[in-house]
Amino acid sequence: MKKALITGITGQDGAYLADFLLKKGYRVFGTYRRLSTPNFWRLQYLNIFEQIELLPCDLIDSYSIIETLKTVRPDEIYNLAAQSFVGASFEQPLASGEVTGLGVTRMLEAIRLITPEARLYQASTSEMYGDNSFPFQDEQTVFCPSSPYAAAKLYAHHVVKIYRKGYGLFASNGILFNHESPLRGMEFVTRKITNAVAKIKHGLEPSLELGNIDSSRDWGYAPEYIEAMWLILQHEKPEDFVIATNTTHTVREFLDIAFRHAGLYWQTYVKTEERYQRPVDVSYLKGDFAKAREILGWEPKTEFKELVQIMVDKDLERWGDWLGGKHFPWDAWNYPNEKKILSRKLKYE
């Protein structure tokens, strides 16, 4: 039985990837970092928590990575752990660099020393292209990072290439464009919007505050991107691939579809606020996944409108179920604003 190690298994992609690999017959190991209250809601939501072998490991601590590799001796390593929120990387640039950038070098060094035969997937990102002016971005496009997060990811991206060339490691970068789902963190704009639509529709909140709603992203459906990660590691040689949809949409378009789907008009509810603007933003991303289609046979299936509707439906259902007295794995309890709404409701009932 093949063994896969997933760092960042508690995140959106980690949970979907764990589910995917279990279905493929892998023995799945996942790392989690020490928190005062560990949070496995996504693994519980997908009903796979019991099947995952969990180990404590933090990408800022080399020894914990080394111990993890010694214990697991994985065939495949999916390095998804990162401080992944671009906005937070402006507020915590050093911590973001430690985890998202240097953390990858720690992982590569540990692999080189302990399990050099293991295959590594590194979660690279379209954010590395930054505020570029190209109509499409592919594997040849120059990088111009526009945030501490993107700079850290670009450093990691290059270190992966250096270890591949210098030490012969099977290490590949997946340059994934934005991918979303009902398991997306609530700080990201898509889920922030769909969660707000649900709260507004259920009469729990009056409005939504956002930053730059003119930026444009190539948004895909996360479960489909997970398969691309796996395909990248099954390829005969280590290479880097862009994974995207070849389409782009503005935050405004996302708002329009999301609110309309709930029978609402977004202009009535959305305000823009300076505090959600980033010091530098990436205004336009549109990926070209031709290489992945040709070599891996991968392509996206879910269209933008359908993606937005999937997310709105799930958030409407969650808030509705909760109001109806149901209990289920959910992240709303982990966010101060949502927790206050939930607690207020409980208090007055």
Q: Which residues lie near ligand F7E (CB under 6 A)?
A: 84, 86-87, 125-127, 177-178, 187-190, 192, 210-213, 215, 217, 251, 276, 278, 281-282
Active site annotation includes 149: yes
- Dihedral-angle region of residue 119 (phi above 0 means left; psi in -120 to 50 means alpha; beta otherwise): beta
Which one of 18, 28, 77, 99 is in contact with ligand NAP (CB under 6 A)? 99
- 49: tokens are 């928590």
- Dihedral-angle region of residue 265 (phi above 0 means left; psi in -120 to 50 means alpha; beta otherwise): beta
Active site annotation includes 10: no
In whole angstroms, the minimum distance from the beta carbon of 309 to ligand NAP comes to 19
The answer to whether residues 251 and 213 touch, using CB atoms and an 8 Å cutoff, is yes
DSSP state of 142: P
Q: Which residue has the tokens 């292209």?
A: 129
Binding mask 254-293 for ligand NAP (x = CB under 6 A): ----------------------------------------
Instruction: Choose among ligand F7E, ligand NAP, none what residue 11 binds, the Cβ cut-off being 5 to 8 Å by kind.
Output: ligand NAP
Catalytic residue among 10, 31, 115, 125: 125
Catalytic residue among 149, 155, 221, 225: 149
CB-based contacts of 23, cutoff 8 Å, min separation 6: none
DSSP string, 267-332: GGTEEE-GGGS-SS---B--B--HHIIIII-----S-HHHHHHHHHHHHHHHHHHHHTT-----SG
In whole angstroms, the minimum distance from the beta carbon of 81 to ligand F7E comes to 12
# of chain residues touching ligand NAP (CB under 6 A): 25
Residues forming a β-bridge with 54: 30
Which one of 68, 84, 96, 173 is in contact with ligand NAP (CB under 6 A)? 84
Candidates 44-52, 54-62, 245-253, 260-268: pick the segment binding ligand NAP (CB under 6 A): 54-62
Catalytic residue among 76, 127, 180, 224: 127
Active site annotation includes 127: yes
Three-state secondary structure call for residue 124? strand
Tell me the residue type at 343.
Answer: S
Instruction: Choose among ligand F7E, ligand NAP, none what residue 243 binds, the Cβ cut-off being 5 to 8 Å by kind.
Output: none
Catalytic residues: 125, 127, 149
In the complex, the residues that contact ligand NAP under the rule CB under 6 A are 7-8, 10-14, 33, 35, 39, 58-60, 80-84, 99, 123, 125, 176, 178-179, 185
